[in-house]
A and B are shown apart, each in its own frame.
Chain A
């Protein structure tokens, strides 16, 4: 059957199993919206800003593992998606972004709402396509989804000129796709895996350092099996939280700039570092010259560019985390004697780690008069559902969430790590809630960042997405204020949000419900009320204004040079 390009686009989305898209109409996508009007298989959610729509698609992708989809019109619609695309790119999130473009004959003419979005997004997309002929559209869509979700996932942009949306052709979706220039290595080399296990079992002070790749690979189960089989300590990055249950005795929780004392000490003293889908980010390594100085390093990653990018590696394994860990489990199981001997050999190391844990656990000073943010996070954990999804914005509240929530399942913390995008939390929660209408979804935000996409309250109310918005209000751009306190002599330049906002009225204006707690003994009751309300709510906590995130590795310092209390 012949169809126009706009319809073909929707048919392709359907073929890819997409049931929800976020998008915003405009002149160069009006034909797509016209087709959508009668296309019932796809649910379209209209955010109030394309940036938010893009974060929502990202949130949906992180919560489900599927490819998130967003549609925007050419020009300003397209440029509004850029922050969302860059956010997804930095954290390797699979997404397809469809932008309208001016008709092909006008491209390059500075036409109305023309912008070279492919050029603008070249450094922050995994790949992009300009569709110049409707006959190519189906194949390009197939390629776009394939590229977005395989190998190291990432956002792929498809720029679709208006005339291509109107032009007609026969719709035929390719069953499979073969790209001679794109063949990610998924299977870990068996010899390397054998070597890895024998190196590992010969070590005395091993640590597993686990990143977002373990979650992207759906390998939390394999990871937990392997680590528990070997009895090794496990630390995760911000993006790896939930890959290994933080409530297990062998969890060292998060490492890095705001990681635990014991994780960072273990990283410094280890003789065998096993990096699993993690990319040695500078927030994790601290000063490179003193990073894991005694360690042999095994690095498992699907992307060869991540390996040896900033640290030396003794044994690289290119491959998918799930595949590699499955083979490692098998290999380890075939040497039960060696594993038993290994466990005996690492006993002193495990005891040393226990010592560090006892010496400096994650902690804070409780206060009755003023609400401590860490206490709010602990209470949120305690009172929320076991399968709750938490998103965060960026700042101190994000770090307190990472430190005090205790994540035990993959895809339950959605947070912008690599780009650190303020304004991410609320729309990402919207995406997660759209994907899981029945699950509890909380976004934990600062008073600064929440204002960057606060307009999405409207989308939540309109679409009956009962996201619980938590605002830890310190009336500061707290994370920057903390740096100013510690490194700039308390010169709080432009970090005080002078204007207090009445979030209860604000919630009310959007047709949602607002709550506020100002004292510690109000916290628990208020959280219960907020959770019990069956629509979107704002829960505002007036927190200790100058509370700091600790421990902290100052920028440029070694991992073991932590500020523990200041």
Chain B
């Protein structure tokens, strides 16, 4: 099962390497990963997607917590979080397909961010499922290039992670 996990870490030299080598060294999967500083500049937030059965996920959580630079690990899989992802998509758009692309962009409230006579580049954000859905519709028209950020996630409700 897919899990989206946020890892709050000390903004120290080499932290990302520690997190990623934990996954590779122990044979855990990383499907996507994003990192950026938070409102507290001493803390960075890593969001990653991983897979595994319950026992593996428990180990991943514990092993992440065990890293000295990890402050908190939040697993959003129980629906406690909101996930958003961005994708940039370059699609073939010639003659008759140009209108079709625009229609899809419109339905998904995506944006055209670059135009050439033979292509459109689209920016779209949303829950990962929404990105998958728009890609499904665009794929038959000819995907030239796809860039996904992987999801970031935040807890629901009024509280911040520090509670």
Contact = CB atoms under 8 A, between A and B. Distances in A.
Interface of A: 118-119, 122-123, 126-128, 130, 132, 147, 179-182, 303-305, 308-309
B14 A304 contact: no
Contacts of B21: 122-123
Interface stretch (B56-64, B78-86, B97-105): B56-64
Nearest to B54: A308
Contacts of A119: 17
Nearest to B21: A122
Contacts of B25: 123
10 contacts: A118-B14, A122-B17, A126-B68, A128-B14, A181-B9, A181-B69, A304-B65, A305-B59, A308-B55, A308-B58
A181 B71 contact: yes
B5 interface: no
B70 interface: yes
Given A123-B21, A130-B14, A305-B66, 6 more contacts: A118-B14, A127-B68, A180-B71, A182-B68, A304-B66, A308-B58
Contacts of B17: 119, 122
Interface in B41-79: 55, 58-59, 62-63, 65-66, 68-71
Contacts of B55: 308
Nearest to B71: A181
Contacts of B13: 130, 132
Nearest to A312: B55
B18 interface: yes
A502 to B, nearest CB: 44
Contacts of A147: 68
Nearest to A128: B14
Contact of A305 (B14, B62, B69, B71): B62
B123 interface: no
Contacts of A305: 59, 62-63, 66
A109 to B, nearest CB: 17
Interface string B1-16: 0000000011001100
Nearest to B26: A123
Given A303-B66, A305-B62, A308-B58, A122 B18 contact: yes
A159 to B, nearest CB: 11
Q: Could you say which of B14, B25, B68, B69 has the most chain A C-beta atoms within 10 Å of its C-beta?
A: B68
10 A-B pairs with the lowest CB-CB distances in the bound complex, closest first = A127-B68, A181-B71, A305-B62, A304-B62, A123-B25, A182-B68, A122-B21, A305-B63, A305-B66, A181-B10
A396 B65 CA distance: 38
A303 B63 CA distance: 10
Contacts of B71: 180-181
Contacts of B62: 304-305
Contacts, number: 35
Contacts of A118: 14
A361 B18 CA distance: 48
Contacts of A122: 17-18, 21
A312 to B, nearest CB: 9
A91 B13 CA distance: 27
A128 B13 CA distance: 10
A284 B139 CA distance: 53
A132 B14 CA distance: 13
B10 to A, nearest CB: 6
B59 A309 contact: yes
Nearest to A306: B62
Nearest to B64: A305
Nearest to B10: A181
B48 to A, nearest CB: 18
A181 B68 contact: yes
B33 to A, nearest CB: 17
B58 to A, nearest CB: 6
B97 to A, nearest CB: 48
A182 B12 CA distance: 14
A289 to B, nearest CB: 14
B68 A179 contact: yes
A178 to B, nearest CB: 13
A303 B66 CA distance: 8
Given A123-B25, A130-B13, A308-B55, A181 B63 contact: no
Nearest to A122: B21
Nearest to B72: A181
A181 B9 CA distance: 8
A252 B18 CA distance: 41
Contact of A181 (B14, B58, B59, B70): B70
Contacts of B59: 305, 309
Contacts of A181: 9-10, 68-71
Nearest to A180: B71
B37 to A, nearest CB: 16
A360 B101 CA distance: 79
B163 to A, nearest CB: 14
Contacts of B18: 122
Contacts of A304: 62, 65-66
Contacts of A308: 55, 58
A147 B59 CA distance: 21
A227 B65 CA distance: 33
Interface in B70-122: 70-71
Contacts of B14: 118, 128, 130
Which residue among A130, A132, A304 has the maximum number of chain B CB atoms within 10 Å of its CB? A304
B68 to A, nearest CB: 4
B63 to A, nearest CB: 5
Contacts of B66: 303-305
Nearest to B24: A123
Interface in B26-44: none
B128 to A, nearest CB: 29
Contacts of B70: 181
Nearest to A184: B66
Contacts of A132: 13
A123 B14 CA distance: 13
